[in-house]
Amino acid sequence: MSIAAKIVGVTGRHGEWRLTLEPNSDSPAGQSRLLVVNPPDPPEKLEDLLHLDVWGGSGNLMCGEERLAKRIGYTRIRLCDGWALIAKEAHEQTARCEP
């Protein structure tokens, strides 16, 4: 149940919101989609997660060294309190590193 991926899409349908993942290395991403069981209000705020590199095992979904979400089974996650700040800081860090 490990994940090593980049978040490349956010889709909402019938009240369910999913993140689309692609591998961020030569190894498989793990899951290609994750259902967010506690989307924010408004759920479009999930777009803040786009382009983040994430990784994790059966318990957590991580962004760098920060826990972004708790894994619930194979394809579902529950976002942690503070996920939006973690995403913002990760994007800021990436922007500082780009030429």
- Confirm if 67 and 61 have CB atoms less than 8 A apart: yes
How many distinct structural domains can be found in the chain?
Answer: 1
Contacts 24+ apart (CB under 8 A), 63-67: 63/87, 63/90, 64/90, 64/93, 66/90
- Pull the structure tokens for residue 93: 């860090």
Model confidence band, residue 70 (pLDDT cutoffs 50, 70, 90): very high
Query: Model-level pTM?
Result: 0.89
Range of the domain at 88: 3-97
Q: Note the pLDDT tens digit of each residue in 5-60.
A: 999 999 999 989 999 999 887 666 578 899 999 999 999 999 999 999 999 988 99
Q: Which DSSP letter does residue 65 get?
A: T
Separation between Cα atoms, residue 25 and residue 29, nearest integer Å: 8
Cα 67–Cα 83–Cα 90 angle in degrees, nearest 5: 80
Predicted local confidence at residue 30, as pLDDT: 75
